[in-house]
Amino acid sequence: MKVSIFSNNGQSSRKVATALHRGLTAAGITIDSLNPDIVVTVGGDGTLLSAFHHYNDRLDKVRFVGIHTGHLGFYTDWRDYEVNDLIQSLIRDNRQSVSYPLLNIEVEYADGTHSDQALALNESTIKKVSGTMVADVYIKGELFESFRGDGLCISTPTGSTAYNKSVGGAVLNPRFNAIQMAEIASINNLVFRTLGSPLIIPADEWIRIEPAEATDNVLMCDQLSIEGRPIKAISYRIARQRIAFAEYRHTHFWQRVESSFIGREAR
């Protein structure tokens, strides 16, 4: 087995990463950041998102494991004081895993240059730099609504608990192979009207967003941004690829939701 240790620069994370590196080496496990079988992230959900984008060309070959060194992470199953337990799980690994859907994003540019494709683990948002964003929204090739507001958020099921939730989207179990679109501060009055509710789109359908103005838009893909280029349209659908987590002690989705947003102390 080959393992990559992907850590943020925090002092506590670096300390855990060092202990993990030492323990894995002592156990005879190869450390390989170029062609790993397992990527262990040390930090939080942001660190895991960075690792996902770093290795997104190897998603069919790699599984992820997350250690959180701060507040409880949604994707991270292990605490910073459980390094030795994790090493023992890696030694006993039998390739057990659980996988989650990803979002495929295709961007067409109005200047005629080639289109770009990207993957998102959490979500993608499209907003206007200043003023109101106006855009036509198509579902499976048919015009659904003309949107006016701050922007639109398209998320995966696991990403439904992130920015999507903060703008009023539904929390979606990742057993559903679907994506979700939520409006961000839409304008609804006697002149302009949108549905005003989150939409759940199945795997055999897709969303296409065509901004009325190609310029001054900011497109986000998780933490990554695309700006400064004229956007003709963005298409979203369930990706062919999925992200896999090593299921040594993988927490059930609703347990994650309860721990992250409700907590036992609130009862």
Instruction: For 80-111, write each residue's pLDDT tens digit.
Output: 999 999 999 999 999 999 999 999 999 999 98
Convert 181-241 into a string of H (helix), E (strand) and C (coil): EEEEEECCCCCCCCCCCCEEEECCCCEEEEECCCCCEEEEECCEEEECCCEEEEEEEEEEE
pLDDT of residue 71: 67
Tell whether 221 and 159 lie within a shared domain: yes
Residue 267: the pLDDT is 45
Q: Report the CATH number at residue 215.
A: 2.60.200.30
- Decide if pLDDT at 266 tops 60: no
**Do residues 105 and 71 share a domain?**
no
Co-location of 106 and 200 in the same domain: yes
Residues 107 and 226 in one domain: yes
In this structure, what is the dihedral angle of CA atoms 144, 228, 239, 180, given to the nearest 10 degrees? -40
- Sequence ranges of the binding site: 45-46, 122-123, 148, 150, 161-166, 185
Q: Which domain holds residue 208?
A: 101-240
The CATH code of the domain that includes 88 is: 3.40.50.10330
Closest CA to 98 of 130, 68, 65: 65
Residue 259 has pLDDT above 90, yes or no: no
pLDDT digits (tens, 9 = 90+) for 136-154: 999 999 999 999 999 999 9
Q: How many other CB atoms sit within 10 Å of the CB of residue 261?
A: 12
Catalytic residue among 37, 45, 80, 222: 45
Residue 76 sits in the same domain as residue 112: no
Same domain as 176, residue 47: no
Do 126 and 233 have their domain in common? yes
Q: Catalytic residue at 93?
A: no
Which residues define the annotated binding site for NAD(+)? 45-46, 122-123, 148, 150, 161-166, 185
Contact between residue 176 and residue 93 where contact means Cβ atoms under 8 Å apart? no
Domain tally, the chain: 2
